[in-house]
Structure 1
């Protein structure tokens, strides 16, 4: 089974090896990376990995702001995608945590009955007072999240989607494919959630514009969860803020973004069953001296960026503010204030 992961990156060098190794453990056979404006060795590391046949690396074709959507439009016509059995579109801070068998994508597909698509629900992992960046697996360091069924006072949560080669794709979205219109009943795809259930009809037809990339999370994670490490350490979050968002130029991550994702009320270590296999695969990739040197260069660049930011009074103030804000989302605080309840500090 050929499974191709498609992703966009900008200055993700310190985290590339873990993500590639993890997805190889899951059963991903091919990788299509798009990069833009990298200054931390990300692009050179991908070129070196491409020379060894580990990934395919292309410059992002975007001419405007929307890097991810332009890349996905290009990916749809790439041979690597066209010749795959399944396509997995995800970001480098997203890890597919499969709860069946040995935790591989083929086992998840089988558990869901080999549908045309599987949309897996996010679980946002919090910073949980981890300040310092460390060069070791993200899935080992961060173990706390919000209540998996409720995020930021919402029960509907975002998804990412595994897509079979014969799904009637009109175009790829970052979170889900969009179907061709007016399909006859016998050509409508079978589309499951991470619990093996049919996704809601309005989601699959994109009929509810507010929920074209999410649906209620309760019961949707019985077979798989998408662990999203959007914050990582406080140090890395500041570097991410300086870099901007791969999807859009000049986007700042204010404290609302942090607060929405830093609810650490729930502990979940289930993904750590992958650690022995992950570390072995990382070691195989880093056994190549050039790859190891480029990884070390990316780590050094990450730390140098933080050092530069800590000489900026605005970033010093942001760091202090993020350490002091409540670990409860702005939406939930507003709700508590509305009903007259005390807001936790």
Structure 2
């Protein structure tokens, strides 16, 4: 496994967090295994100790800043600020992702340099989401998320859509106008001859409509079929039902006014497929977490955030209306509306990949 900074490129992961304390350690540890050398993390009004834990992880390459956002688009304002930060400016590659997203690299030794090489060293790589279901797991456990959740939708099909959102790895020389949460943007006046070399997770050129962002519905996504040969993005948007209740109470860390409602849960809780491929990373991940916990203050602050998370779960479940809502979510059908009909129409099998 390539260790961060061991002669490879400088790769900076950028993210925003709010009350993600129990999950920060795993995410930092996992990304270090991929070859991420630096982290720029913006925190939004945390009350579970996430911010203190991030500060304690400075020795692991984590730069922690309060989110400077003044408006409602917390993530976009943070990304604008990130472009001015030295940790980003000195990076060879930028990876923008959330703490519930884990890049699952199938190429080579399963690191970012291996993915970059497999894709032909382009200027950007956009990797398709694969949403991992709650699959009936009710209780929060302080163990790696990637070990707990192994069921997902058919990765070529999400609800009734074949085009699925992506997240992007961006090289220093990309002709950048600005970073988006899902992909970078270049100026529409850029001559075609100067368009960046940009691939999907199979090393293929991304679709033209996505590349030029000339269709609003194709600015953040493209067809997932055939796009995951070298990597997919495991997105654990739900986690346990306990943690989902905390997430709904917290609100969206990236933009104001977004509601994590019944449709959000049901659209992401399709357990039709089993995908255990990321578990190859688990032994190294557990060793890396142990190493990070040995840094001054990290184990204590992580454990305090876990206690705060469990206390919040207890407070929420003690409220009758939230307890009833939790029971309702747990009883919802697994297959989201529209998908069963589309599967039947296309003749897709529902067996594992």
**Given the two structures, how large is their TM-score scaled by the length of structure 1?**
0.95
What is the CA–CA distance in structure 2 between the aligned matches of 1:110 and 1:278, rounded to whole Å?
A: 23
Q: 2:62 aligns with which of 55, 65, 70?
A: 55
User: SS of the counterpart of 2:190?
Assistant: coil
Q: Judge conservation of contact 2:60–2:292 (CA < 8 Å) in 1.
A: no
Worse overlay, 14-23 or 183-192:
183-192
Deviations 1:152-183 (A, max 9, x none): 11000000000000001111100000112322
Aligned residue pairs total 337
Q: 1:282 aligns with which of 283, 289, 297?
A: 289
Residue in 2 aligned with 1:343? Answer: none
Q: 1:268 aligns with which of 266, 269, 275?
A: 275
Superposed displacement of residue 53, structure 1: 5.2
Q: Return the alpha-carbon distance in structure 1 between the equivalents of residues 256 and 197 of structure 2.
A: 36
Checking the alignment, whether the CA contact within 8 Å between 2:56 and 2:296 is kept in structure 1 is no
Residue aligned with 1:19, SS: helix
Unmatched tracts of structure 1, length 5 or more: 337-345
Shift of 1:334: 8.0
Deviation string 1:229-287 (CA, Å, 9 cap, x unpaired) is 00001111111111110012353311100000000010000000001111111000011
Q: Once the two structures are superposed, what CA deviation does each residue of 1:50-74 show, in whole Å capped at 9, x if it has no partner?
A: 2x35200111010121110000011
Q: Does 1:258 align with 2:265?
A: yes
SS of 2:227's equivalent in the other structure is: coil
Q: Deviations over 1:208-239 (max 9, x none)?
A: 11110000000000000000000001111111
Alpha carbons 2:168, 2:184 under 8 Å: kept = yes
Query: Following TM superposition, by how much is the alpha carbon of 1:76 offset from its aligned partner in structure 2, in angstroms?
Result: 1.1
Which residue of 1 is the match for residue 303 of structure 2?
296
Per the alignment, residue 4 of structure 2 pairs with none
Kindly state the Cα deviation for residue 331 of structure 1 after the two structures are TM-superposed: 3.4
Q: Distance in 1 between matches of 2:62 and 2:180?
A: 22
Q: Name 1:24's counterpart in structure 2.
A: 32
- The CA deviation at 1:333 is 6.6
Determine the C-alpha separation between the residues in 2 that align with 1:100 and 1:93.
22
Find the counterpart in structure 2 of residue 339 from structure 1: none
Q: Which residue of 2 aligns with 1:8?
A: 16
Tell me if the contact between 2:130 and 2:155 (Cα under 8 Å) persists in the aligned partners.
Answer: yes
Deviation at 1:109, TM superposition (A): 0.3
CA contact (8 A) 1:89 1:174 kept: yes
Give the TM-score normalised by structure 2: 0.93
CA contact (8 A) 1:256 1:330 kept: no
Aligned pair partner of 2:223 in 211, 216, 219: 216
Matched residue of 1:31: which SS? strand
Partner of residue 74, structure 1: 81
Residue correspondence of structure 1 range 50-199 to structure 2 within 5 A: 50=58, 52=59, 54-199=61-206
Q: Does 1:37 align with 2:38?
A: no
- Please give the per-residue CA displacement for 1:17-64, whole angstroms capped at 9, x wherever unaligned: 0000000000000000000110000001111212x3520011101012
How many Å apart are 1:117 and its aligned residue? 0.2
Match for residue 310 of structure 1 among 317, 322, 333:
317
Separation (CA, whole Å) in 2 of partners of 1:233 and 1:113: 38
State the alpha-carbon separation in 2 of the partners of residues 251 and 111 from structure 1.
37
C-alpha distance in structure 1 between counterparts of 2:284 and 2:141, whole Å: 20
The worse-fitting range, judged by mean Cα deviation, of 325-334 and 125-134 is 325-334
